[in-house]
Amino acid sequence: MIETVVDILSWFLLCTGGIFVLIGGIGTLRLPDFYTRLHAASLTETMATILILVGMILQAGLTLATIKLLTIMAFLLLTAPTASYALANAALQSGNSPNAQQRDDQT
């Protein structure tokens, strides 16, 4: 009984994670410029990461694999923003200034 519940919950998390990856991809294509696209990418790298890894942890149960998955999640969540920052800052330094004030209607 309890296994079925955990299984259902785990599949729910994995599927939602997959959907968020998809939405992140769609967003990266739809949004107009570099900086706004970064927001869509961060959907994939935070929300989807959490959902998919927690889903896998539920599948793994109380094993060493769970601890490894938790560590992977911690490292991904610590390094992904740093990578985003490096990317955004590089774009800013190289003169790609975000035209944030006006709205871009050309999509």
Partner 1 sequence: MPSPYTAKSWQLASLLILLFGIWVLWSGIYKPLLFGLGLFSCFLSVWLAKRLGFFHHGIPLRSLFRLPKLWVWLLLQVIKSSIDVARVVLSPSLPIQPKLVELTTDEHSETGKVILGNSITLSPGTVTIDVHEDRLLVHCLTKDSEADLRSGELDARIAQLELG
The residue from 3, 82, 94, 95 that contacts partner 1 (CB under 8 A) is 82
Min dist CB 3 to partner 1, Å, is: 26
E strands present in 1-107: none
Cβ proximity to partner 1, 33 vs 59, nearer residue: 33
Is 14 in a helix, a strand, or coil? helix
Binding of residue 66 to partner 1 (CB under 8 A)? no
**Burial group, residue 24, by CB count within 10 angstroms (0-12, 13-18, 19+):** buried
Per-residue x/- mask for partner 1, residues 11 to 50, rule CB under 8 A? ---------x--x--xx--xxxx-xx-xxx-xx--xx--x
Using alpha carbons only, give the angle 23, 29, 35 rounded to the nearest 5 degrees: 95
Binding of residue 78 to partner 1 (CB under 8 A)? yes
Residues whose CB falls within 8 Å of the CB of residue 44, separated by 6 or more in sequence, listed in order: 20, 21, 24, 25
Q: Nearest-CA neighbor of 73 among 88, 55, 86?
A: 55
For partner 1, the binding residues (CB under 8 A) are 20, 23, 26-27, 30-33, 35-36, 38-40, 42-43, 46-47, 50, 64, 68, 77-78, 80-82, 84-85, 88-89, 91-92, 98, 100-101, 103, 107
